[in-house]
Structure 1
């Protein structure tokens, strides 16, 4: 899917004060089919049969999120401390897999992040990609050298769309500090940057009441509605190592 660079970015000057608590998140008026939470175990056993909350991707209710990054960070609520997760990335509307990686999760329950390495194919500006996180209760799939026939117990999916910054936004970001950047990301509907920067602040400054309030406000935003996991801890997991990545050809459209 090729998108217009006009996107949803606002070119207005950022005038958010440093004392502002609530982020002014302005989601783009776009959406796509997807499933951001999956509570139904298919053949699960052990910990998979005792999950109190579903595996949940941190994405707005529209299943659509925008980014400036070639390698954005994805966030996922993992309801168990032992599982295997597989990330599959495809251009929206295509069956071609451009990136695939599987890795163990050894911490949880909690919110974890996944960022493809710089060696992974970069997202192209103006294009949308469908990501899928397949969650396996079994560890067998981790040792498979090719795509496994083992069915996943849970799957969540959504869209990441890479957009080009407007000239005004680019200039503002170049001059902005961390707090101002966070405000700019939110005001311009850049979900992945907003969530990632705020999550990192929450992880490094757990006692900061302003950060805690902004985190709660973002996840409880009317366009997000992730109230059920807003209080979950953010865990230091997971590193997507190139050695775990399947070698797949990348053919730009």
Structure 2
């Protein structure tokens, strides 16, 4: 079992640590937890990575296996920021948590962490390209921020342009699917662990976002003619 009794206790301890910080409890008065909740980072990263991979590859077995743990993974990333004892990793906790909530269909909680990420992380020179695109895409989808074009040597610019074209015109899904596979292949060939971690999360978020896009759902559920609504969606947000 990926998330057993000890894991559940660790999650509770991590949430408790966040509350201690929230209520400004002195460290000398902290409880002595019998388990190190920081060690839960490894399984929750694994859960998020494998769930993202199963979404990209449309692996129903994988999705069924890891989906039940996604809420707890999201909560752990969230609490890890609140615990304030590994601030060097706050960018990763916030972004991973926002993505995990998004993939769990908890868009409200995802929005909260995404807003905190944009507020807290002003300078991001060490962020991987996939990480930057993921942050910008979540900001675009959840916070109505501009979606900048990210350029790199692996196809990030092509991916960003394909996404913007779709959200602006409602066209180009086959091209996005092609670019996604091309981008993922290039990142994997480069063999950078951080890029590989974030590219799968990014592409999973894209997959879920496209499945819920207004361009897809409005005609599906409203039965309205395109001329009655498509001009409303044609908003270009680009820097």
Normalised by the length of structure 1, the TM-score is 0.28
Say which one has the larger Rg: 2
Q: Which has the higher contact order (CA 8 A, sep 6+)?
A: 1
The answer to which structure has the higher helix fraction is: 2
Normalised by the length of structure 2, the TM-score is 0.29
